[in-house]
Amino acid sequence: MNKPYSESCDQNKQVILSIISPLFSSLSSVLEIGSGTGQHAVYFAEKMPHLTWHTSDCRSHIDGINSWVTESDLNNVKPPFELDVSKSPWPDSDVDAIFTANSIHIMHQQDVVNFIRGASGLLKQHGSLVIYGPFNYNGLYTSASNERFDQWLKQQDPQSCIKHFEEIDSLANNNGMRLVTDYEMPANNRILHFVKI
Ligand SMILES: C[S@@+](CC[C@H](N)C(=O)[O-])C[C@H]1O[C@@H](n2cnc3c(N)ncnc32)[C@H](O)[C@@H]1O
């Protein structure tokens, strides 16, 4: 199959790496949820060769991720397994951290609840959950472009939308995690770094 391609992945991979590289420097393994095309996985695995990068997504993305993983010929990025955060139980996975990019605004509200609960259930004490994407704060968009993006998301799927930071933070707290750092990123995105207590 032709490898799927996302231009935004190419545009944001370096700035994401600049944040996650120090966060993951002493870790051995990361599970990516919603790996999408698989581009991030291959790039991050190549740049952080000490890590084993596990890929996952809903069934419809598995073949595409596989084509990036196979072509990369890297031995530290693993073929994808099916993980829809709303289907339980999640497959067993022994990892030090969980990473997801641009998936929370696609997920429906109940998916996000299940995502945070499932991530916390998988992580060991001190394990990290790292989330990249846009968020609203104090009930407000952080930019006009995020507002337009949110309207576009809702046209694609009425249950997709930019989520509120406070809701994510509260869900994380209620599931035994605490926010370590909320990083401001280019193009009105954030990286939220939570740790399992
Ligand atoms: C906009 S894409 C982002 C893909 C990639 N992470 C990136 O940054 O380019 C959103 C991703 O979230 C995934 N996703 C949406 N709902 C999901 C769910 N319930 N469980 C797991 N992944 C989900 C989609 O399958 C898709 O891969």
Residue-level pLDDT at 49: 98
Strand order in the sheet with 77-82: 77-82, 52-57, 29-32, 97-101, 128-133, 189-196, 177-185
Residue type, 26: S
Give the atom of ligand 1 at the shortest distance from the alpha carbon of 132. 8
Q: Give the total number of structural domains in the chain.
A: 1
82 lies in some domain: yes
1 lies in some domain: no
Nearest alpha carbon, ligand 1 atom 14 = 34
148 lies in some domain: yes
Residue-level pLDDT at 87: 96
Q: Which residue is it, tokens 């990123």? A: 185
Cβ burial of 156 (10 Å; 0-12, 13-18, 19+) is exposed
Comparing CA positions, the residue from 53, 91, 55, 104 lying closest to residue 75 is 53
2 lies in some domain: no
Give the mean pLDDT per block of 10 residues along the chain (197 residues).
92 98 98 98 98 98 98 97 96 95 98 98 97 98 98 98 98 98 98 98
Q: How far is the CA of 100 from the centre of ligand 1 (A)?
A: 8
CB 43 within 8 A of CB 74: no
Residue 22's domain spans which residues?
7-196
**Ligand 1 probe mutation, 58, 85, 150, most atoms within 8 A of CB:** 58
116 lies in some domain: yes
Please report the sign of the dihedral spanned by the C-alpha atoms of residue 65, residue 48, residue 52, residue 129: negative
Please list, in sequence order, all residues whose beta carbon lies within 8 angstroms of the beta carbon of residue 29, skipping any fewer than 6 positions away. Answer: 51, 52, 53, 54, 94, 95, 96, 97
Q: How far is the CA of 149 from the centre of ligand 1 (A)?
A: 16
Nearest alpha carbon, ligand 1 atom 23 = 34
Pocket of ligand 1 (CB under 6 A): 6, 9, 33-36, 40, 57-58, 61, 83-86, 101-103, 106-107, 111
CATH (domain of 138): 3.40.50.150
Residue-level pLDDT at 110: 97
CB 54 within 8 A of CB 93: yes
